[in-house]
Amino acid sequence: MAKNLVIVESPAKVKTIKKFLGKNYEVTASNGHVRDLPKSALGIDVENDFEPKYITIRGKGDVLAALRKEVKKADRVYLATDPDREGEAISWHLSQALKLDSKNTCRITFNEITKSAVRESLKNPRDINMNLVDAQQTRRILDRLVGYKISPLLWAKVKRGLSAGRVQSAALRIICDREDEISAFIPEEYWTITAVLGAEGEKKPITAEFCGDKNGKITIHNENELNAILKKLEDAVYQVLEVKVSERVKKPPLPFRTSTLQQEASRHLNFSTQKTMRLAQQLYEGVDVKGSGTAGLITYLRTDSTRVSDEAQRAADSYIAEHYGGRYVAGKTRTESGSSHIQDAHEAIRPTDISLTPVRVKDSLTRDQFRLYQMIWNRFAASRMAAAVYETTSVVIDAEDYRFRLSATKLLFDGFLSVYTLDEKKPDTAVLSKSLEKGAVLTKKDLEAKQHFTQPPAHFTEASLVKTLEELGIGRPSTYAPTITTLLGRRYIIRENKNLYVSELGEVVNRIMKEEFPSIVDEQFTANMESLLDNVEEGSVDWKEVVRNFYPDLNEAVKAAEQKLEKIEIADEVSDEVCDVCGRNMVIKYGPHGRFLACPGFPECRSTKPLLEKIGVPCPKCGKELVLKKTKKGRKYYGCEGHPDCDFMSWQKPSVIRCPQCGSYMVEKGNKLVCAGESCGFVQKKPKEEQEA
């Protein structure tokens, strides 16, 4: 029997794929990349037409030695790395490092790790696609040129350890620009009027919102304008001018692609982009499901596409018809228009088997794996279902030529909402009086005026940043999570309560990049570069031509900046904490395990303290401040700053609100506050301002 060797990237896939293949197949893993550009040097021969110099990654010598032994035993080698540019590049590097013979080596790809998909890929082997390899190689070289040319400049002029990446610098500029918008924002006053009206034969009053006059919409800018309108409305006759009943169809959502999965997981599961991708990778690589064996639960997780295979569509139609009824099966499913990304060759992120419902696999998954899988399954099932149908009733009321409007919505057919309601806003369920017919006269009971102010743009969250990067064409599915992780790791940005804020260090780096390297941080330039990489992948542009056109301008800009820039000092953030040894105010420093307090008198005074983050809640036991702490293993909890004199601690975040029933402190659980008293059990919703925070 011929001996076949299948090489995958991740050891987690080995166990899954081995179960699908016969005894004459050996499966092993490369553990990701085996070759890369050297860390200690540029690794690109600029004088020799930008020829890259690849070396074996430190620590991968033993992996390659083990792979060479397996290759010698094999009659045929299948390179089965991930089905994207990076996976193609890893296969090419493996073929080079292992000196594989092209006659008995081939490339296979599968979009899902299931028995049928893996076996089908073995029937359709191909050569390594060098266009894909070149596209990935171009990205790597461009990023290396930017990083290794600009980063030393930042080290010399600002501080060591900084970095400037092609995509990360553009992302940092977007965040900084938003912060500038927020800082420059001036709130504008406006007023709203709500009419409380009575209808003949109806006990309950109805409410209608002021919307303008017979000529159109009116915005009430100040109290003088408000009083002028209220004066005219005081003795007005309120009469129903129009009643319009119509049906509204809400289309089902598209299945997930990488960016939308990251956005929804951030919004609804509070996952970082990095955590979402890690969990999705686990679901893709394979899980041992009780009663079904080991298999990948979702399709490939790095994709720009919302396309679904015909086979998956038929399976979804059959499942929906059986479990929900034929009425719920969509006649024709929606597809996304206008996407020209190369990675549209992949399918959307979906369950590999729709019959593996979240309930069936729950006991085989961790809590977070289950929550993510449930969201993916629900979204895919919903995307294959019929639209929801609403009946909407809109009533226009006339009052001295001013107009008030009220509306109500009734769900006639839930359609896809039977499985997926995450994005669904609660409809206006106001009950409309049966007396609201055209010409009906209403009685004014009250006019309620409220003052409002326009709000500044929202701070970026990871979800909204990913959405913006995608809309601008900056980066690709595989780059969103590492870009955000790098910005956080370099401390250019700070994450607090989901919001992303720019640090002083980030502002300095962004200012240097904008002034000295404007093209690198330009949104349009970065997006155009992504298009060029797509052209390389298509084979219509030579990869070296892209680098040749890019490098001279970068090199000149670096030389000019070296002469122009002066040394910039970043001051340490001074705290209120006083050094116990010398009495100076301690400053916040960054170490390998996070922030800590240190005496500014170093090296004369070497005093340090842990940095305790106050949460603005008094200790229920002694009244001192509660602080966020961590156990030795890194688990967060809340304790008293007076420790060890006070031993209060709580795993859940305490609230300033006391229980109205027993007077005990309450803790936050989701959008609710729960009494911490064991015998009480009182529950209430968090105040709206706390939910938004």
The pLDDT tens digits for 187-207 are: 888 999 999 998 877 778 889
Both tokens of 398, joined, read 């006339």
Radius of gyration of the chain (CA): 31
Peptide bond just before 603 cis, omega within 30 deg: yes
C-beta separation of 481 from 273 below 8 A: yes
pLDDT tens digit string along 678-687? 767 788 888 7
Stretch among 130-134, 189-193, 516-520, 546-550 having the lowest mean pLDDT? 516-520
Q: How far apart are CA 626 and CA 618, in angstroms?
A: 6
C-beta separation of 239 from 439 below 8 A: yes
Q: Which of 312, 316, 456, 328 is nearest to 388 (CA)?
A: 328
pLDDT tens digit string along 19-49? 899 889 999 999 999 999 999 899 999 999 9
Q: How far apart are CA 161 and CA 448, in angstroms?
A: 58
pLDDT average, residue stretch 392-408: 93
What is the pTM assigned to this prediction? 0.78
- Predicted confidence at residue 336, as pLDDT, reads 59
pLDDT average, residue stretch 77-97: 95
Q: How far apart are CA 281 and CA 275, in angstroms?
A: 10
Kindly tell me if the per-residue pLDDT of 633 is higher than 60: no
- Predicted confidence at residue 223, as pLDDT, reads 92
pLDDT average, residue stretch 451-460: 91
The four Cα atoms 636, 639, 644, 648 give a dihedral, to 10 degrees, of -120
pLDDT band (50, 70, 90) for residue 591: low
Helices 273-285, 11-18: crossing angle, 10 deg rounding: 30
- Predicted confidence at residue 300, as pLDDT, reads 93
pLDDT band (50, 70, 90) for residue 339: very low
Kindly tell me if the per-residue pLDDT of 433 is higher than 70: no
C-beta separation of 113 from 120 below 8 A: no
C-beta separation of 659 from 674 below 8 A: no
Q: How far apart are CA 169 and CA 273, in angstroms?
A: 18
Q: How far apart are CA 452 and CA 446, in angstroms?
A: 19
Neighbouring residues of 367: CB distance < 8 A, sequence distance ≥ 6? none
Both tokens of 239, joined, read 């009469």
Residues labelled catalytic = 300
- Predicted confidence at residue 341, as pLDDT, reads 43
